[in-house]
Structure 1
Amino acid sequence: MHAKARVLIWVIVISLSLVLASQSSNHLSYNQNYTLPSYFQSVKAQDLLNKNFPSGSANNSIDIALINATPFDNYIVSQKILQVKGVENATSVANVYIDYATALGKIANQTGDLLNDSAYALYYFPSHFIKYYIESNNSQTSLLKASKGLPEEVKVSNYTVNFTEFYSSFAKLFVTEYKSTGNVTLSYTLAFKGSLKNVNPIGLVALKYLNSSDYTNISSIAASVSKETGISEKDVCFLIFKPINANDPLLYEVITPPSSLISQYVAHNVSVVFVYTSYSPGFSFKNGTYPDGIISNEVQSAIGSVFHGKFYVTGTAPIIQELSSSEGSRQGTTFALVFIALLVVIGIYFRSIVAPLISLSLIALSVLMGFGVISIVGILKGSVNFEIVEPLISVIMGIGADYSVFLMSRFKEELQNGKSSAEAMSISVSTSGRAILISGTAVTAVFSSFVFVPYLRTWGLVITPTIPLTLLIAVTLLPLIYMKLGKRTFWPSHVKAKSSNKVIEKVSRFSLRHSNGILVGVLIVGIAASLFVLSIPMNFNDTSALPDYPAVQGLNVIDDAFGHSFINPILIVIHSNYNFNTSFLMRISNLENNISHMKGVKQVFGPVPSNFNGTYNQEVRELMKENIGTDNKTALITVIMNYPSDSKQAFSLVSNIEKEVSNIGYIGGTTSTYMDLESYLMPYYEGIVIALPLVLFVVLSLFMRSFRIGLGMILTIILTIVSSLSIVYIAYGINTSTGVIFFIPLIVYVLMMGLGSDYSVFILSRIREEEKKGSESIIRGITLSAGAVTALGVILAASFGVLVTDPISIISELGAAIALAALIDTFIIRLSVYPAILSKIIKSKIKSKE
């Protein structure tokens, strides 16, 4: 293709990429939630919660941690939060006080009304009937006058106390006895006792506490209600015969809800307010606006205006907001650091200012196109995980720099051999360019494996097409530029005859002489490192790797106060085909009791207390209201652990609980989801771990026309991977208890499989060239390619090494692992192990100069 046509095509592609890249941030997702297939029990549990518990499907994306706040402070804060646009609800310990007071008030008022009306009927009517009868001697007239204005019946809950029959019976019995004896007192006593059988027993409680002289006295009523209901007289006096006033600070001082209800919101000096918004966690508009993030900022301001103590705004929304607001600066910092690092490395390698500027300018265009691909994938798939951006910059900059340096190294070598710029360019493209195309194809194929892994699919969709674009820029645009510049490409250094690298030649010869010892040592190290890496479990808790943002600090404050799993507890969802009854609730109570005695359990909340005996007091009613679903067939038991939700101990606890509930319900919550994720993802992991080496083995074997060489190269790559992961795990304190974030080892494995094969192809292609020139092809091939391959390894290490400074520890660990792998591969594997392996495989072609 004509040079001008190439340039024109690239101008069009780059212009389109610029437009798309400007929209890339709108397509990034910061949601850390994972979606599982419906057959997993954690999904079934969540589906039942969403269906039968209004709060289960509500969008609780913001949590507030108030330090040293009173219940009334919680009320004021909650009311202020409710004024924020987009907030649907806010619940706190104030709701416990209000709900409990309302329930007590209802009971107290019903009981007070009953006592008052009963006393009025039982004492007022007899005295007035006797008065009217003695005056008129007419029982019917006296009955009508005495009962006028008195209650005919009093309804309390499911009870109805009927007084009409009492009035009639008393009148009849009194008249009969009075006519017989003429004694008012005796007739009253006999008539009163005889007529009480017509009153519902619940109405007779008035006789226990009241008398005819003080039944209208409020203090007497309060004392009577307290004795009858068990509610403290102080609470009765505060609640009786008046509506609940949530604005009254006395409400939160006088009323004392049970600790089992308060402990769901308050622990030590920390109280939590749960905020529910109109949007699902992670939702964003098409223009990239994240509404819950805006709401969390407004909630922060609202709280600050009414609460002057220390507080934290945490939860999904604030964390996402802090991540998204810092993403731009993290991208810019990563690009700048990688650019500077590569500028220095390439500049030192070529001893030139021009060469690194040319190559890095073109590579920057590849990064631009990568951001354009993010927009395309976001449009097609809905979103792209934000964690891909910094690694994408490092991958493209590192690979692009590798390809550029490999081409320019060969170009410089041919210039040193006296070739013209055009001839040197042609040779560099036909030799190094061919190796780059083979390598790029292999790397692209390797990265495409991410497409088949859930949760890493967008990684594959973004990186896979960007690598060929980077490769094409390297083999089409870059040669045009360095051909035009010629020797000036390497200014201010001079292109002069290349001297052989004596150090690398000596290392290679040493490796050949001691190949047996080197291979035995490598085997021991490889086995030990592999066993260690395989012993580290997967961890699916992305939040554990977040920077020390205020929202993350808030999570830690809540964890310290309430327990590690308060925000992410174990959720046991009990489901029955029939409505719950007392017998089934007692069965649930026994289950709660069994779970509460399991090792690692801090608290258990359920529809009934763990000591439930069939008595429905107010505490039981409140628990039932919170933990029995709208269908009356679904119950929720919440378990707070002493363990982090992502720990091995938490996994073990969930497994033990599962044995208890497997016949009557499902286990949901974060820990159960992590366990299901592990079961779901492991087949994909195992498939990639097995498939990639097989594919590369075939590719390398065909390229070198030797299955033994292909096998040797694959084994060296695996050695590099397990060695680097072992060192990083130890350096970052990753062990069998904490585990490693699930995609770190997989990404390192895939990337190093691809890039490790890169270096293999580069070296092996040079060895093949040297085979045609005579003996010592291994020594000459490694020595001649060592400078470039060493530079490539250092370039890759530099491009990923800068990620160590990233505040997100996942990205930091990933960068450290790949940088270390690149250095191990470059300075140990390629220079020492490679010659030893090749000497065993193609021994017949080696003739030592000893």
Structure 2
Amino acid sequence: MFYRLGKFATRHRWLIVGLWILAAVLALPFAPRANQVLQSGGFESPDSESQKAIDTLAQKLHVNETIVQVIFTSTHYTVEDPQFSQQSERALANIRNWSEVAQVTSYLDNPRQVSQDRHAAYVNIEMKPDANTAAKLLPELERRLQKVPDLKASVGGGPVFYEDIQSVSENDLRRAELLAFPFALIALLFVFRSVIASALPALVGGFAVVVSLALIFALGHITPLSIFVLNITTLFGLGLGVDYSLFMVSRFREELLRGRSIEDAVAVTVATAGRAVTFSGLTVSIGLFGLTFFHINMLHSVGLGGILVVVLAVTAAITLLPALLSILGVKVNALPVRFPRLKRHPVGTDIELEPHHGFWYRLSHFVMRYPLRVFFPVLLLLLSFGAPFLGVRFSAPDASILPSYVPSRAAYDLLVQRFNQRETTPILMAVHTPGNALTPENIKNLYYYVKRIEADPRVDRVDSIVSADPRFTLDQYQLLYSHPQLIADPYIGAFLKASVSGDTLLVEVVSKYGMVDPHSQALVQTIRNTAPGHGISVLVDGGTAGNIDYVNSLYTDFPVAVLVISITTYIVLLLLFRSLLLPLKAIVMNTLSILASYGALVLIFQDGFLHQILGFTPLGFVEASSPILLFCSIFGLSMDYEVFLLSRIQEAFWQTGDNRQAVALGLQRSGGIITSAAVIVIVVSACFATADMILVKALGLGMALAVVIDATLVRGLLVPATMRLLGTWNWWLPFAGVQRHPPALAEYLGPVDTDNEQTAPEQANTHRNIHIGGKR
């Protein structure tokens, strides 16, 4: 099928190129606008208890989550000084009467909004629109916030956080693109030593990215997509587009060196490298497809965007690139770039040059001579790399994932450093009672339930209608709420209005410990697992509960995603390699490189190793979605190289029937080009590791580290060692035995006499003729 596709691409080359140019021209107006339809949030699970709790409170009590915080700080005044309150009120004057504002809660209304040193206080501004819409109103809000001489105002809160995510993500993307394109092109010039050959992979990657972004713009009007789709699209579009083209172009040049006509060279290229590219793209898509199993929209949408760009990268590699190669022919080597100090030949021209003396050939034979001595030390080394992951601490993302210079991060740091963080992140309980919450029976049951919570040693305070005044007894609360309209105390009256509606009421529990402290997490679990009784039900929300639900939601879905990815990948590789054991070996090898990157994730982002060099503040935890993003991304990307390596080994085995010789020849023939491809992916990933957003930085750095490990320790040492230990069992399939030479490939894969390869002078002469564009 792929051989016929190559023939088709040759015959209809101008039509294929024209269609791709048309697609790019149509996509160009929409690709730059993709960010306009993407959303900054998407970290919540709609099925979690915390989300149900906040939905209940919003519906019944009109609790508003869209809050902008303005923090006033002064070096001269305390909040008790009249100048502090006068100037803060003057600063807020034009905001209080703004139609987009639902309510303004000052520190004068709630004394707990004052810092511990009394030189700062914050004001909560409840916005009417949702967080994403409110983010677009921030410029107007900042314009209305008047400057005053003695107070410094810092703006933070949810809408500011979402706006900062949007702007930082876009800046990260622009920086990564500016770095990745030139570095990838330079790497390609070193690989091919020809301007034309180097331009082809960059061209195909660019086409894939542009068309993908335009399709994301269209898809964003149909379903919610996360802003992080932009980063994954560019990262995979560039990385895989260049990778796949690299394999195709190098194989085309190799086939020209073998003396094939241009048409045959294109057909064989598509039938061999194109086939491997397609199956490789399928394995990468399977990994990204695992992200669609998650209820968290950020992961779900990143999976959709990733699959889209991978499909386009594969399509461009097996249609557009063969068409371009058939047009260029031997001119693919035109405009040579000379590097006098480099003694090696360009990739694609030295595949058969002295195969028995190549580095990868010698290395593979050395490894296969001592397979056990290589296998166990390397295995232990990789496991030791992953060992730090045993101490991982997961958490949901907050403003600490952003750089310190953005407004929401600056406001977050102020709250953490100067305010009692326990007061700003209480445990919220949506309590549902049988019938009216203010009946004497319900008041009694609530009173004793709150007393039980207050008795917990981890609890600092409980704010509720039955604990509003510690001097009141149960009888007094029952009497007070028997006629709520007659309550004279303004504080209790306002508290009752804000926290009770019909059969629903809000209870706030303040822990003695921080939001992500294990004691606070255990307290939330205790509240959830302790039934109030008497027909009362409770839904728990708040920062700690949301954190627990976020992590639980991710790692409830993760095993299902891993299982589906592994089984589907195994089946695809089983069909590709016609072997029972090779797919299993490939999956295990991939898992080891991913495990090593997980260890680095903990060392760097949780413990802060190299944080000054990498330019971020250590989190003290690992953002919970990062390992999942890494697994689904790296699994497919690492499998990419495994597929190309095993494809060349399989070809050599079909030609020789000797497992050991096939491993050596396959590694020698693919070693240079896979290393070059890995270097380019490492360069592109490292460019994304310069991001200010820690989520993107972790993904770029994790992918770069995993590819480094995969391209060296795994591919160079573990793969030949395991294939030597398995022997001919590598190629065994039940009911079929050992598969040597499938008839479908016989017409263009001839036998190889491994003891009588073409001589080095003949190869060098062929290389010289092709390289200068001469006739064969």
TM-score range, shorter chain: 0.7 to 0.9
Give yes or no for contact 1:74–1:273 (8 Å, CA) kept in 2.
no
Change (3 A) 1:848 1:479: closer
- State how 1:244-393 maps to structure 2 within 5 Å: 261-264=110-113, 267-268=116-117, 269-283=119-133, 292-306=134-148, 308-381=150-223, 383-393=224-234
The reply on whether 1:749 has 2:637 as its aligned counterpart is no
* Distance in 1, Cα, partners of 2:441 & 2:489: 15
Alpha-carbon shift at residue 309 of structure 1 (Å) = 1.4
Q: Give per-residue Cα distances to partners, 1:595-633, cap 9 Å, x unaligned.
A: 456455455433334623236899965145225544354
Which residue of 1 is the match for residue 102 of structure 2?
88
Alpha-carbon shift at residue 410 of structure 1 (Å) = 1.1
TM-score (ref. length: structure 2):
0.80
The reply on whether 1:782 has 2:627 as its aligned counterpart is no
The reply on whether 1:395 has 2:403 as its aligned counterpart is no
Moved >6 Å (runs of 4+): 616-620, 844-849
Change (3 A) 1:488 1:643: farther
The reply on whether 1:24 has 2:30 as its aligned counterpart is no
- State how 1:221-236 maps to structure 2 within 5 Å: none
Alpha-carbon shift at residue 684 of structure 1 (Å) = 1.9
TM-score (ref. length: structure 1):
0.73
Alpha-carbon shift at residue 413 of structure 1 (Å) = 1.9
Change (3 A) 1:843 1:522: farther
Question: Percentage identity across aligned positions?
Answer: 21
Give yes or no for contact 1:61–1:315 (8 Å, CA) kept in 2.
yes
Which residue of 2 is the match for residue 63 of structure 1?
69
Change (3 A) 1:695 1:336: same
* Distance in 2, Cα, partners of 1:407 & 1:647: 52
Q: Give per-residue Cα distances to partners, 1:662-696, cap 9 Å, x unaligned.
A: 43433222322232333433332111112212222
Moved more, 809-818 or 606-615: 606-615
Which residue of 2 is the match for residue 289 of structure 1?
none
Q: 1:482 aligns with which of 314, 320, 325?
A: 325
Alpha-carbon shift at residue 537 of structure 1 (Å) = 4.5
Q: 1:762 aligns with which of 629, 644, 655?
A: 644
Letter in 2 for 1:539: S
- State how 1:400-419 maps to structure 2 within 5 Å: 400-419=241-260
Give yes or no for contact 1:66–1:312 (8 Å, CA) kept in 2.
yes
Q: Give per-residue Cα distances to partners, 1:114-163, cap 9 Å, x unaligned.
A: xxxxxxxxxxxxxxxxxxxxxxxxxxxxxxxxxxxxxxxxxxxxxxxxxx
Give yes or no for contact 1:395–1:799 (8 Å, CA) kept in 2.
no
Give yes or no for contact 1:377–1:461 (8 Å, CA) kept in 2.
no
Which residue of 2 is the match for residue 572 of structure 1?
429
Give yes or no for contact 1:589–1:612 (8 Å, CA) kept in 2.
no
Give yes or no for contact 1:61–1:276 (8 Å, CA) kept in 2.
yes
Which residue of 2 is the match for residue 509 of structure 1?
365
Give yes or no for contact 1:759–1:789 (8 Å, CA) kept in 2.
yes
Letter in 1 for 2:470: N
Letter in 2 for 1:605: D
Letter in 1 for 2:471: F
Residue correspondences, number:
671
Give yes or no for contact 2:241–2:317 (8 Å, CA) kept in 1.
yes
The reply on whether 1:828 has 2:701 as its aligned counterpart is no
Q: CA RMSD in A?
A: 3.1
Unaligned stretches of 5+ in structure 1?
97-260, 284-291
Give yes or no for contact 2:388–2:602 (8 Å, CA) kept in 1.
no
* Distance in 1, Cα, partners of 2:503 & 2:90: 36
* Distance in 1, Cα, partners of 2:232 & 2:170: 14
The reply on whether 1:606 has 2:491 as its aligned counterpart is no
Change (3 A) 1:550 1:680: closer
Give yes or no for contact 2:682–2:707 (8 Å, CA) kept in 1.
yes
Q: Give per-residue Cα distances to partners, 1:494-549, cap 9 Å, x unaligned.
A: 87655346322222122112211222234434555666536535422243312221
- State how 1:652-663 maps to structure 2 within 5 Å: 652-659=522-529, 662-663=532-533
Give yes or no for contact 2:367–2:374 (8 Å, CA) kept in 1.
yes
Letter in 2 for 1:425: V
Give yes or no for contact 1:559–1:566 (8 Å, CA) kept in 2.
no
The reply on whether 1:636 has 2:636 as its aligned counterpart is no
Moved more, 683-692 or 543-552: 543-552
Change (3 A) 1:579 1:604: closer
Moved more, 335-344 or 829-838: 335-344
Which residue of 2 is the match for residue 199 of structure 1?
none
SS of the equivalent of 1:274 reads: strand
Q: 2:681 aligns with which of 788, 796, 800?
A: 796
Change (3 A) 1:376 1:83: same
Letter in 2 for 1:562: F
Letter in 2 for 1:547: P
Letter in 1 for 2:365: R
- State how 1:539-618 maps to structure 2 within 5 Å: 539-548=395-404, 549-577=406-434, 578-580=436-438, 595=453, 598=456, 601-607=459-465, 608-609=467-468, 611-614=470-473
* Distance in 1, Cα, partners of 2:408 & 2:160: 6
SS of the equivalent of 1:314 reads: strand
Change (3 A) 1:385 1:307: farther
* Distance in 2, Cα, partners of 1:517 & 1:281: 58
Which residue of 1 is the match for residue 740 of structure 2?
none
Give yes or no for contact 2:286–2:565 (8 Å, CA) kept in 1.
no
- State how 1:495-506 maps to structure 2 within 5 Å: 498=351, 499=353, 500=355, 502-506=358-362
* Distance in 1, Cα, partners of 2:527 & 2:500: 25
* Distance in 2, Cα, partners of 1:5 & 1:87: 57
Change (3 A) 1:303 1:642: farther
Letter in 1 for 2:415: I
Alpha-carbon shift at residue 6 of structure 1 (Å) = 1.0
The reply on whether 1:722 has 2:604 as its aligned counterpart is no
SS of the equivalent of 1:31 reads: coil
Alpha-carbon shift at residue 44 of structure 1 (Å) = 4.2
**Structure with the greater alpha carbon radius of gyration:** 1
Change (3 A) 1:434 1:716: same
Give yes or no for contact 1:59–1:278 (8 Å, CA) kept in 2.
no
